[in-house]
Amino acid sequence: MNVIEARELAKSFWIPSAKRETIREHVIHFYRRRSFERLDVLRSVSLDVRAGETLGIMGRNGSGKSTLLKILCGIYRADRGTLIVRSPVTPILELGLGWNPELDGVDNVLLIGTAMGLSLRQARRSLDEILAFAGLERFAGMPLKHYSSGMAARLAYSVAFKAVRDVLVLDEVFAVGDQEFRARCEARYRELSAQGHTVVLVSHEPRIVSAFCTRAVLLEGGTIVKEGSGEDVVRDYAERMAAAS
Amino acid sequence: MRAATAPAGQRVDVPGMLWTLIRTDFKSRYHGTLGGFVWALLKPALMFVVLMSVFSLIFASTPNYRLNLIVGLFLWEFFVEATKTGLISLHAKAFLLTKARFPPWVLVVASLSNAVITLAVFALTFLAYLVAIGQAPGALEVALSLLYLVLFFLVVTGFSLGSSVLFLRYRDLNQVWEVITQAGFFIAPIIYPLDIIPERYHIYLYLWPPTPVIQFSRAVLVDGGIPTLKAHLLLVAVAAVVFTAGAALFRAYSPSAAEHL
Taking only the tens place, the pLDDT of each residue in B115-167 is: 999 899 889 989 999 999 888 899 999 999 999 999 999 999 999 999 999 99
Mean pLDDT of A54-71: 92
Q: What fold characterizes domain A2-244?
A: Rossmann fold (3.40.50)
The answer to whether the complex's ipTM is over 0.90 is no
Residue A86 contacts B where some CB pair is shorter than 8 Å = yes
Average of per-residue pLDDT values in chain A = 88
pLDDT over 70 (residue A66): yes
Domain assignment present for B66? yes
| Span between the terminal Cα atoms of chain A, in Å | 40
A170: nearest CA partner in chain B: B99
Q: Closest Cα of chain B to A153: distance in Å?
A: 13
A167: nearest CA partner in chain B: B8
Name every chain A residue with its beta carbon within 8 A of the beta carbon of B1. 8, 80-82
| Contacts for A3 with CB less than 8 Å, ≥ 6 apart | A49, A50, A51, A85, A86, A87, A166, A167, A198
Q: What's the rounded Cα separation, in Å, for the pair A221 and B220? A: 67
Please choose, from the candidates B157, B164, B148, the residue with its C-alpha nearest in 3D space to the C-alpha of residue B244. Answer: B157
Give the count of beta carbons closer than 10 Å to the beta carbon of residue B106: 21
Which residues, in sequence order, are bridge partners of residue A90?
A: A168
3-state secondary structure of B228: coil
Domain assignment present for B82? yes
For chain A, give every domain's residue range.
2-244
Number of domains in chain B: 1
Predicted local confidence at residue A98, as pLDDT:
58
| Contacts for B189 with CB less than 8 Å, ≥ 6 apart | B72, B197, B205, B211, B214, B215
Query: Is the CB of A85 less than 8 angstroms away from the CB of B8?
Result: yes
Rg (CA), chain A: 20
Residues 10-69 in B contacting A (C-alpha not used; CB under 8 Å): 10-13, 15-17, 19-21, 23-24, 27-28, 32
The sign of the CA dihedral B46, B47, B50, B55 is negative
3-state secondary structure of B59: coil
* Structural domain span for residue B214: 14-260
Domain assignment present for B101? yes
Domain assignment present for B4? no
Name every chain B residue with its beta carbon within 8 A of the beta carbon of A115. 12, 17, 96, 99-100, 102
Domain assignment present for B8? no
Q: Which residue has the higher pLDDT, A77 or A173?
A: A77
Total CB pairs under 8 A between chain A and B: 139
Give every residue of chain B whose pLDDT is below 50, as ranges: 1-9
| Span between the terminal Cα atoms of chain B, in Å | 27
Residues 94-123 in B contacting A (C-alpha not used; CB under 8 Å): 94-102
Residue B5 contacts A where some CB pair is shorter than 8 Å = yes
